[in-house]
Amino acid sequence: MSDYLYKELPKLGFGLMRLPTIPGGSQKDIDFDQVTKMVDMFMERGFSYFDTAYIYHEGASESVIKKCLVGKYPREKFQVVDKMPMWNITGFDSYERIFQDQLSKTGLEYFDIYFLHGIGVNNFETIDHTEGWKFLKSLKERGLAKHIGFSYHSPAEPLDKLLGEHPEIEVVQLQLNYLDWESEQVQSRKCWEACRKHGVAVTVMEPIKGGSLANPHPTVQKVFKELEPDSSAASWALRFAASHDGIITVLSGMSNIDQVDDNTKSMANFKPFGEKEFAAVEKAVKAFNEIPIIPCTSCRYCTNDCPQRINIPAIIGMVNEYIKYQSTSSVGFGYMMAIGQGGRASSCVECHSCEEHCPQHIKITEHLKKAAELFEKNMPGRPGR
Ligand code: SF4
Ligand code: SF4
**CB-based contact 21:56 (threshold 8 Å):** no
Nearest to 213 by CA among 267, 283, 284: 284
- Ligand 2 mean position to 354 CA, how many Å? 8
Tens digit of each residue's pLDDT (9 = 90 or more) over 192-231: 999 999 999 999 998 987 776 777 778 888 999 999 999 9
- Is there a single domain that holds both residue 318 and residue 266? no
Determine if ligand 2 sits within 6 Å of the CB of residue 298: yes
List, as one string, the DSSP characters of 172-235.
EEEE--TTTTT-TTT-HHHHHHHHHHTT-EEEEE-TTTTTTTTS--HHHHHHHHHH-TTS-HHH
- Is there a single domain that holds both residue 128 and residue 194? yes
Determine if ligand 1 sits within 6 Å of the CB of residue 339: no
Determine if ligand 2 sits within 6 Å of the CB of residue 316: yes
Q: How much is the pLDDT for 183?
A: 87
- Is there a single domain that holds both residue 280 and residue 297? no
Q: Whose CA is nearest to atom 2 of ligand 1?
A: 348
Determine if ligand 1 sits within 6 Å of the CB of residue 163: no
Determine if ligand 2 sits within 6 Å of the CB of residue 357: yes
- Ligand 1 mean position to 190 CA, how many Å? 31
- Is there a single domain that holds both residue 302 and residue 373? yes
Q: Who has greater pLDDT, 212 or 302? A: 302
Q: How much is the pLDDT for 332?
A: 72
* Total residue length of the chain: 385
Q: How much is the pLDDT for 383?
A: 42
Instruction: Locate the ligand 2 atom nearest the alpha carbon of residue 301 and give its number.
Output: 3
pLDDT band at 266 (very low <50, low <70, confident <90, very high): confident
User: Residue 246: which CATH number?
Assistant: 3.20.20.100
Q: How much is the pLDDT for 327?
A: 56
- Is there a single domain that holds both residue 315 and residue 341? yes
Q: How far is CA 370 from the centre of its chain?
A: 26
Determine if ligand 1 sits within 6 Å of the CB of residue 346: no
User: Which of 303, 366, 368, 370 is the best mutation target for the ligand 1 pocket, counting ligand atoms within 8 Å of the beta carbon and taking the most?
Assistant: 368
**Residue 337 and residue 153: Cα distance in Å, rounded?**
30
- Is there a single domain that holds both residue 122 and residue 166? yes
pLDDT band at 352 (very low <50, low <70, confident <90, very high): very high
pLDDT > 70? residue 1: no
- Is there a single domain that holds both residue 329 and residue 377? yes
Average pLDDT (39-44) is 98
Determine if ligand 2 sits within 6 Å of the CB of residue 10: no
**CB-based contact 351:311 (threshold 8 Å):** no
What is the number of structural domains in the chain? 2
The pLDDT mean for the chain works out to 91
Q: Whose CA is nearest to atom 8 of ligand 1?
A: 306
Among 289, 324, 351, identify where a domain stops. Answer: 289
pLDDT band at 384 (very low <50, low <70, confident <90, very high): very low
Report CA-CA distances (Å) from 166 to 96, 132, 226, 315. Answer: 21, 12, 45, 40
Q: 176, exposed or middle or buried, with CB in 10 Å at 0-12, 13-18, 19+?
A: buried
User: Which of 300, 358, 365 is the best mutation target for the ligand 1 pocket, counting ligand atoms within 8 Å of the beta carbon and taking the most?
Assistant: 365
- Is there a single domain that holds both residue 137 and residue 281? yes
- Is there a single domain that holds both residue 280 and residue 343? no
**Residue 289 and residue 120: Cα distance in Å, rounded?**
26
| For the CA of 345, the nearest ligand | 1
pLDDT > 50? residue 128: yes
Average pLDDT (362-366) is 96
Determine if ligand 1 sits within 6 Å of the CB of residue 311: no
Q: Which domain holds residue 348?
A: 293-385
Judged by DSSP in three states, 22 sits in coil
Question: 57-62, long-range: CB within 8 Å, 24+ apart, which pairs?
Answer: 57/16, 57/17, 57/19, 57/21, 57/27, 57/28, 57/30, 58/26, 58/27, 58/28, 59/28, 60/27, 60/28, 60/29, 60/30, 61/16, 61/17, 61/19, 61/30, 62/16, 62/102, 62/105, 62/106
Tens digit of each residue's pLDDT (9 = 90 or more) over 231-244: 998 899 999 999 99
Percent of the chain exceeding pLDDT 70 equals: 93
- Is there a single domain that holds both residue 109 and residue 258? yes
pLDDT band at 385 (very low <50, low <70, confident <90, very high): very low
Q: How far is CA 266 from the centre of its chain?
A: 19
- Is there a single domain that holds both residue 301 and residue 248? no
Determine if ligand 1 sits within 6 Å of the CB of residue 314: no
Determine if ligand 2 sits within 6 Å of the CB of residue 299: yes
- Is there a single domain that holds both residue 320 and residue 219? no
Determine if ligand 2 sits within 6 Å of the CB of residue 139: no
**Residue 72 and residue 40: Cα distance in Å, rounded?**
10
Average pLDDT (302-324) is 90
Among 252, 270, 289, identify where a domain stops. Answer: 289
Nearest to 275 by CA among 218, 227, 233: 227
Average pLDDT (25-52) is 97
Those residues with Cβ within 8 angstroms of residue 192's Cβ, 6 or more apart along the chain or in another chain: 174, 176, 202, 244, 246
**CB-based contact 148:132 (threshold 8 Å):** no
**CB-based contact 62:102 (threshold 8 Å):** yes
Q: What is the pTM of this model?
A: 0.76
Q: Whose CA is nearest to atom 3 of ligand 2?
A: 358
- Ligand 1 mean position to 187 CA, how many Å? 26
Among 246, 268, 289, identify where a domain stops. Answer: 289
Tens digit of each residue's pLDDT (9 = 90 or more) over 145-181: 999 999 999 999 999 999 999 999 999 999 999 988 9
